[in-house]
Amino acid sequence: MKFRMLLLAALPLVLAVGCGGNEVRTTDNIARECALIPFPRVFELQEGGLYLDASTFAVDSRFDNASKEKIREFASLLSDCSGTRVRIKELAPAAGNGSVEGASLSFVLDDSLSPEEYSLDAGPQGAVVRASDYNSVLYSLATLRQLLPVEIYCCSDGSRCTAGVAKSSCKGVEWTIPFCHIEDYPQYSYRGVMLDCSRHFFTVDEVKRFLDIMAEYKLNRFHWHLTDDQGWRVEIKKYPQLTEVGSVRGGTMVGRDFDSDDGVPHGGFYTQDELRDVVAYAQELGITIVPEVDLPGHMVAALASYPELGCTGGPYDVRRIWGIADDVLCAGKDATYRFLDDVINEIADIFPGELFHIGGDECPKVRWENCPDCQAKIAELGLADKDGVSAEQYLQNYVTDHVRQTLAAKGKRIIGWEEIAEGNLDKNAMVHYWRGWKSVEETLCKFTADGYDVLMSPTNFFYIDYAQSEDRSSEPLSYNSTLTIEKMYLYDSTKLLSPEQLAHVKGVQANLWTEYIADWKQIEYMLLPRMFALSCIAWDGDERPDFETFMDEVRKHQFQVLDILGYNYRKGN
């Protein structure tokens, strides 16, 4: 990857006049530096630039309607910012091979490119974007926004309202992109962020704001942690008590004091209509949502709603403290499997993506060991301690496989935290690697050697609920560990893998748990600017520039974007 800008020979001022009085205006005077995050695979920057205000955009008619609409939105945004009219002209397929006379910017559908791949060539005769699909159109437009003066973010395209910056700041701006050549495509197909809305609930509008900033930097998977011990956040019509009871806890521990309770009820949930609205919003941004129902552990909120699903029968209370609870779903009762089928089927019908996250982590077996129903199920299945794995762990494998089959019937594939691979696991399941304190050889190398597809979220590199500095006095309350943006950016846990094993690593994801985060502005602070490091890791893979080069790019442009859009972020390293 040529991640540095290659400055080519200066080009003279050119004014190319097209048909019907349209003109492509260029200039040899561009002093603005260009900073793109994530880094394109190839970025060759030349002297001179192309005006895009008062322009004609030519669009290949073969693009789908959604892609055409996004290009029209970009033209409208530029018109709004520049105060001049940007016109759209649709091209017949035969004409969609390159720049169009009189068009400053042409969009061409190129079937030879891989999914999510695009290219951009801007020169004296105009600029040509070649894109392979809807997402690659979105990514080309995101790159164009970063190539334009930062004031492009001062205006609203109707779906993202900017904060605190008047459009008057756009006056006198030269709406110019540099002459350049870009070839770009992602390293990983899965580029994600997880948001925990169970420990603390966040509104639909806040979740959409989270999606907005993800999309701007080419992240394409939103893992939505919707259920846990401390709150059930998704409406299930067949089980109304899940939200009537399970969505509200009576109080919350204060700080890190597990013996405290503020006595303040905390709750909230998403209706199925609200979930569908967020799904549609995410799809428009090129983001697929991966819902999570954590099972069979982390289920106290469900047990408080339906105590008969537990081994002891309760009573249970929606959990007020963090950590791991001994109470889990009873794996010996037929009612548990009916419950799981019903819940999963309702949720799967809302989320169209292939992956469904089933959690599977931190499931204590103490209740199962002493539960007559669970022990009877173990006997029925002929399970026993074997190869260092307990019969109770094999019972969890049985629960996992039951859910896998239920989801497979809906055309879904399960993904779960890495504990689901202990014992038996179907090879079609995806393993979510998170226990960063374990050795790579013990975990990642074994998973990939065994043929499992893996998603990377090791705690020591991707848990963004960790503090951003060792100086805790400068940080809000957070989980009691540190992850600086530099450490995150320098991530490399795949160097021990063979090429065959590397093919099983499908992507990376940052996880934002919210035990200690109740305020939305702190959500933004924990995400930013570490999300820029995630974006580069996910898009560029190992072919990234050094950390100082990265931070120079971030400070040069991206902090200004965050300021204009009104996001809260950590300004130091």
Which residues are catalytically annotated?
228, 298, 362
Among candidates 522, 514, 489, 540, which has minimal Cα distance to 194?
A: 514
HEC letters along 251-311: CCCECCECCCCCCCCEECCECHHHHHHHHHHHHHCCCEEEEEEEECCCCHHHHHHCHHHEC
Distance CA 247, CA 245 (A): 6
Whole-angstrom distance, CA of residue 303 vs CA of residue 307: 5
Do strands 221-225 and 288-295 pair parallel, antiparallel, or not at all (unpaired)?
A: parallel
Tokens of 120: 């951009």
SS3 214: helix
DSSP 329: B
Amino acid at 327: D
Q: Bridge-partner residues for 145, per DSSP?
A: none
3-class DSSP state of 418: helix
Q: What angle do CA 32, 38, 41 make, to 5 degrees?
A: 95
Pick from 339, 273, 327: nearest CA to 299: 327
Q: At what angle do helices 520-527 and 530-540 cross, to 10 degrees?
A: 50
Q: Rounded to an integer, what distance in angstroms lies between the CA atom of residue 62 and that of residue 132? A: 11
Q: Find, among 301, 316, 312, the residue nearest to 367 by Cα.
A: 312
d(CA 485, CA 551): 9
Residue with tokens 């004031």: 151
> Which tokens is 411 given?
């055309």
C-alpha torsion angle, residues 317, 319, 320, 322 (rounded to 10)? 160
The identity of residue 564, as a single letter, is I
> Nearest CA to 455 among 399, 524, 511?
511
Q: How far apart are CA 359 and CA 377, in angstroms?
A: 22
- Cβ–Cβ contacts within 10 Å for residue 278, how many? 21
Q: Judge residue 503's burial from the number of C-beta atoms within 10 Å of its C-beta, 0-12 exposed, 13-18 middle, 19 or more buried.
A: exposed
Q: In the numeric block, which tokens belong to residue 16?
A: 């190319």
DSSP 121-132: EEETTEEEEEES
What is the Cα–Cα distance from 235 to 457, expressed in whole angstroms? 28
Half-sphere exposure of 495 (CA within 13 A, CB side): 6
320 contacts: CB under 8 Å, gap ≥ 6: 230, 249, 250, 251, 252, 253, 261
Sequence-ordered alpha helix ranges (H) in 12-101 = 65-82
Euclidean distance between CA atoms 223 and 290, whole angstroms? 5
Q: Is 229 exposed, middle or buried (0-12, 13-18, 19+ CB in 10 A)?
A: buried
